[in-house]
Amino acid sequence: MSDDVREVVAGEGYAVGSLDGMGDGPGFRKIRRELGVGAFGVNAIVMPPGIETGKHYHERQEELYFVHAGRLEMEFGDGSKHTLGPGGMAWVDAATVRAMRNYGPDEVTYVIVGAADGYVGRDGALPEGEESNAPRPIEGSQA
């Protein structure tokens, strides 16, 4: 078993890293830039208690929000408000106005993925010698 990755490590056709290695304390984490992602935007925000974002929308880019830790209130252009806890997600169309708030006692960390121009579809393929990519027990694992 290897140690958990903290700093970004890039290889041939991949990069791995950790939000902790992309910055300390509250603020913006530019995941796309750090990992070299080219096909879509992806960032994270670590927001302290009692902080809110300004309202915004996009011209083309849909966004998916994923709450990693804490509780995030999202307010939409129609005035509705929804609170998301760890594992919570929200899809937001480009033109929909949105704002985020952290009313909780702890920091909230959320990841935002944005893209335009549509879904590619399921285009996965098995490399030579693989018969399946279905989950299977790890050889030698005691789990």
The pLDDT of residue 3:
87
Chain position carrying tokens 């913006």: 28
Question: Distances in Å between the alpha carbon of 130 and those of 14, 122, 123, 124?
Answer: 20, 18, 16, 13
> What are the chain's domains?
26-115 (2.60.120.10)
Its pTM stands at 0.90
Q: pLDDT for 2-14, tens place per residue?
A: 689 999 999 999 9
pLDDT at 143 over 80: no
Beta strands in 8-115 (DSSP E): 9-11, 14-16, 27-29, 41-47, 51-52, 62-69, 72-76, 81-84, 89-92, 98-102, 108-115
Question: Distances in Å between the alpha carbon of 5 and those of 8, 17, 75, 129?
Answer: 7, 6, 34, 29
Residue 125 banded pLDDT, cuts 50, 70, 90: confident
Q: What single letter denotes the amino acid at residue 26?
A: P
Q: pLDDT for 15-61, tens place per residue?
A: 999 999 999 999 999 999 999 999 999 999 999 999 999 999 999 99
The pLDDT of residue 2:
67
Across-strand partners of 56?
98
Please state, as a whole number, how many other Cβ atoms lie within 10 Å of the Cβ of residue 34. 21
- Please state the separation of Cα 84 from the chain's center in Å: 14
Q: pLDDT for 87-97, tens place per residue?
A: 999 999 999 99
Q: Is 9 helix (H, G, I), strand (E, B) or coil?
A: strand
